[in-house]
Structure 1
Amino acid sequence: MDHTAALPAPARRTRRIRRIRRAVLAASATLGAALVAFVAQRPLRHRHTGWHAWVGTVNGVVVLTVAALPLAALVVWVSARRRTAAGVAPEWARRRSLAEVGMVYGTVPWVWMTMLPGSGAGVAPRRVSLVPLRDLIEVVAGAPVTAIVQVVGNLLVLAALGFFAPVRFTALASVRRVLVLGVACSVLIETAQYVLWLDRVSSVDDVLVNAAGAALAARASRRWWRTAGGAPAGRPRSAVPAGR
C-alpha cells in the first residue's frame, strides 16, 4: 500500500521537498569527496606559492569552488526567504534564487580555469584554430583518453548557464536561444584567451563543444522553464503566483 498517496497535498509536498534536499546533500557530499580526492592525487605545484597557488592553478580553483559551496547554498536560502517575504510563492522564490546562484556558481569556476595562463604566456606565439573538428580529430588520434577528458570539460564550461538561464529568464526559454548564448559566451572566452596572450589555443572546436554543452543542459532543464506567461512548461498559467 502506498501511504504517500493517502497524505494530503501539503504533506506530500513537504515529504518531496525533504527527499530532494537529502538527494542534493548526498550529491554535494559525493561531489565534494570526489573533488577532494582529485586534489589529493594532484597536489599544488611547488613552483606556485602564496595566493597564486589558490587562484592561478586548477587545483586551487577546485578547492575554492568546494569551499564556496556552503556560501552559495546560504545565498540561495537568504534570497529565497527575501522573495517569499516580498510576496512571491515559496516554490518560485526557491526556483529563481537557485537558478541565479546556480548560473554563477556553476559557470565562474570553469571560465576561471579556461583563463589560467600556460607556461608560455606572453612569450609563445598566439595560436588560432579555425578549422572545425580538426583539433578534436588530432587529439582523438593521438590520445583518446585525453580527448574524452577535454570534451567532457568543454561540455561543462557553460552547462550550468545553459541549465539555469532558461529556468530564470523567459526570453531564454528555448534551446536555440541558449545555443546562440553559448556560442556568444564561448567566442568571448576564446577571444579573451587570444587577446590576453595566455598561451592557449583559441579554437573553433572549443566554441562548438561549449555551446553544445549549454544546449544539452538547457534541454535537460526544460520541464522547469518559464513560458511567455511566466508559468513553467507543462503547467497552466493560472497556477503561476504573482510576484517578482
Structure 2
Amino acid sequence: MAAPTIDNIVEEILPDFGVNALKPEQKEIISNITKKKDCIAVLPTGFGKSLPFQVYAAAQKRTSREAGHVLVCSPLIGLMKDQTKKLSHISYLSVGYTVESASVDEKIKRGDIDLMYASAEALVGDPEWRTAFQKLNVTLIVVDEFHTIYIWGLQFDNRKEAFRGWFAQSGELRSFYPNAPLLALSATCSLKIRKKAMKVLNLNDPAEITLSPNKSNIKLIVKKVSNSVEMPLNIMAY
C-alpha cells in the first residue's frame, strides 16, 4: 500500500482545526508549499491565513514520524501565544514558541516541536538561538505579517535606528534551509511594501495569492460642505 501523501491527509484532518473545507486561496497556498514553491499571500484580516501552514505542519507529521519542522517568524508574542493555545488540543501536533518556558525552549532545541514560532530577533539576531535553529530540519519557513520587514525593519530617518531592525535581516533564513519553501503572509500592504519584502526575503518568482481587503458593508463617502461650523457637525452625527 502506498504511503499517504500530504494532500490525502489534509482533508482528513480538517475537522481537528474546526473547519470542514478550505477556501480556494487556502488550498492554493498548501498546493504551492507542498510542491516546494515559494508563496506570498495578502489576504484580509480574519480570512484564515495561518490555517494553511498549520494544516500543512499537521499533515506532514501524520505522513511520517520523522517529518521536518515548520518554522514561523512572527512579530508579536501575543500572536504566537494565541496560535499555540488554539492548536493545543491537537494531540499529534506539538506546537511552541521561544521564551514560552524553559522546558519549551529545550524541546525546540532538541527538535521535539513540530510547529515552532520565534521572533526575528531570536532567529537571526540571537547567536545561541540562531545556531540551534540551523541544526533543525525545517521543511517550511513562514514569515507572518511580512509587512513588518518594511515598516519596522528599515530605517527611514538617519537620526533614528529602525524600530526592530532584525526584521530586515529575516531573509537570512533562506540560507539556513536552502531547500525549504518560504510562505510570506500579510493582511494588507501596498505594492511597494510587497516588492520590498520580496527582495528582502529572496523570493524568486513566488506564487502570489491576493484578495482585495474591501468590505461590502463598509463605504467611504466624501462630501463638500459649506464653510460653517454647524454643517460638518450635522453630517458627522449621521
Global fold match (TM > 0.5): no
TM-score, structure 2 normalization: 0.26
Which has the bigger relative contact order, CA under 8 A and spacing at least 6? 2
> Larger % of strand: which?
2
> Larger % of helix: which?
1
